[in-house]
Structure 1
């Protein structure tokens, strides 16, 4: 089964990315995590996302499109990146998600990707 791991990070986590003294250690955890998934043969895709301040939010209300600088979440944590993995079941996917560095200060959303018979 294909599963998406959505890694949510705190504002402090995002700040570490750009901090010259902390970036190597912080990003090293992410490289180790993605490297372990690649080595295990489960990672299909993955990427970090830019700072939340670079987001654009598009919404449509009553047929009117609204484009705003974003993001506008209800939580302090922001989507920081994603991984698409191949796992035998949700239990194994959750095991991989529990090793995600954002588990320390943010949270991880784990969702199965349905197979609707469409090519990727």
Structure 2
């Protein structure tokens, strides 16, 4: 299993813990992107797409446009270093005002 796959699994577990506190569940999406759908009381209220450094592509952006055109909410989780790049891409594609961006960062502290 690749490092990116492990990273996504870790992030999914963290997101499930946080959203579970506010009565929302996450379910995997069979056709990715996006990676997860947010469900509250049995209704899909949005999607979460977790992006690693090498996953920004035209196909992914086209899928986001398709989901947003149907009125869905979209949250994109990106590495902290890539936030500026993805924000610029979203502005160029006309999606910046429709998408929420979250960031993640991994810090290791050794004694």
TM-score with structure 1 length normalisation? 0.31
The structure where helix makes up a greater share of residues is 2
**Structure showing greater Rg:** 1
Which structure ranks higher in relative contact order (CA pairs < 8 Å, sequence separation ≥ 6)? 1
TM-score by length of 2: 0.33
